[in-house]
Amino acid sequence: MPAVPFNSLIVVTGISGYIGSHVGLAALTAGHHVRGTVRSLARAEEVKAAYAKQGADISRLEFALVDDLTSEVQLSAAFKGAAGIANLAIPGSLTADSNIEPQQVIDAAIALLRVAAQEPSIQRVVFTSSSTAAFARPGFIDRPLNGSDWNEEAQRRYEEADEETKKIPFKWAAIKYHYSKYASEKAAWKWIAEHKPTFDFVSLIPNNNFGPLLLGDVHSSALWLYSLMKNETSIFKILFPRKSLVPAVFTSFEDYVNINNSTAEWFIDTRDTGRLHVLALTTPSVGGKRFWAVASPYGWNQVLTILRRTYPESTFPENLPEENGGVDTQEIDNSIATELLGGWIGLEKSIIDTTKTFPQ
């Protein structure tokens, strides 16, 4: 199957993001040329400076402005001459005032594939999915989850959401996000089956990402750890940017847990996520596959124990009841990713390394 050879040009969409920045760095470290898409060229300078700080060869780094992920003109310029694409960018942002609209996310996925099919140099596209596209929470399946699982519940929750639900900003934003990830990936696989492009298509299913921040403010899932470091009674009560990530209805960590139903999950370190994207682009045997990108299950009480042990002088929120804060019991088949990586960064190292990059 076609795969990206060594010393190729790889496009990383959303390269300035929490995960995208690690994908770009991993691609440079592996000896590739990288073209990152950014919504503002000002972000390009931040990425360049961050990579230089990590010792990367930034002479192999370039950027393309893509401020509309459905613009085939912009995408065509970004993809020209590339051998592979790692797609991490989606329209909108997951905040209490989220502007994510599922149809726009679907349209962006299809636009990317359509443009990639018109660029003869493209050998493989790696699509970054989400656990929310594969599995609904709360829930439990008495077998390991695998690449054939889909979260049909995401569509039902989106289509049946009432006006009261839509008035709870973060809950409605989460429902839209979950459906967007599910529907856009479904649409992508459907397009691949119908159009049979010359490039291979692979999708990765990560769960919660922890890992060092390479640039920008504390954001994404790193905010959760930052909240705990600040002894926030509600771990999501952080201003980014200068707006609460969740409404005041969430008065405690436990409230968030009970409403969002997503405390005990699996994690992956962003550095492993970055390496997996590159390996998914360059390993012939994974062409056409959909697989989980997760290291191990975790629970928030486990995270709190690590933080207390590492920072004994600090005060942290109390543990949650075990049914909310315990280690996830849902099994996931992560064998493909494990074989590709050969080993994982552990939870304790991931958490400690993340917190070391927080502002003091």
pLDDT digits (tens, 9 = 90+) for 164-186: 988 877 778 888 989 999 999 99
Mean pLDDT check: name the lowest of 121-130, 190-199, 227-236, 340-349.
Answer: 227-236
Cα–Cα distance measured from residue 236 to residue 232, given in angstroms and rounded to the nearest whole number: 8
Q: Which domains does the chain have, with CATH numbers?
A: 9-356 (3.40.50.720)
In angstroms, what CA-CA distances link 191 with 187, 237, 281?
Answer: 6, 40, 19
Query: Tokens representing 105?
Result: 């996310």
Beta bridge partners of 290: 203
Q: How confident is the model at residue 29 (pLDDT cuts 50, 70, 90)?
A: very high
Q: How many CA atoms lie within 13 A of 191 on its CB side?
A: 23
Mean pLDDT of 124-145: 91
Q: What are phi and psi of 200, to 5 degrees?
A: -85, 150
Whether the predicted model's global pTM rises above the 0.75 cut: yes
Cα–Cα distance measured from residue 26 to residue 322, given in angstroms and rounded to the nearest whole number: 37
Strand order across the beta sheet in which 265-269 lies: 208-210, 265-269, 296-298
Count of Cβ atoms closer than 10 Å to residue 312 Cβ? 7
pLDDT of residue 128: 97
Q: How confident is the model at residue 94 (pLDDT cuts 50, 70, 90)?
A: low
Q: Which of 89-98, 133-142, 149-158, 233-242 has the highest mean pLDDT?
A: 149-158
pLDDT higher than threshold 50 for residue 261: no
Per residue in 298-317, pLDDT (tens digit) is 988 999 999 999 999 999 98
In sequence order, what DSSP letters do the residues of 121-189 get, joined into one string? T--EEEEE--GGGT--SS---SS-B-TT---HHHHHHHHT--HHHHTSHHHHHHHHHHHHHHHHHHHHH
First to last CA, the chain: 48
Q: Which of 113, 119, 45 is nearest to 80 (CA)?
A: 119
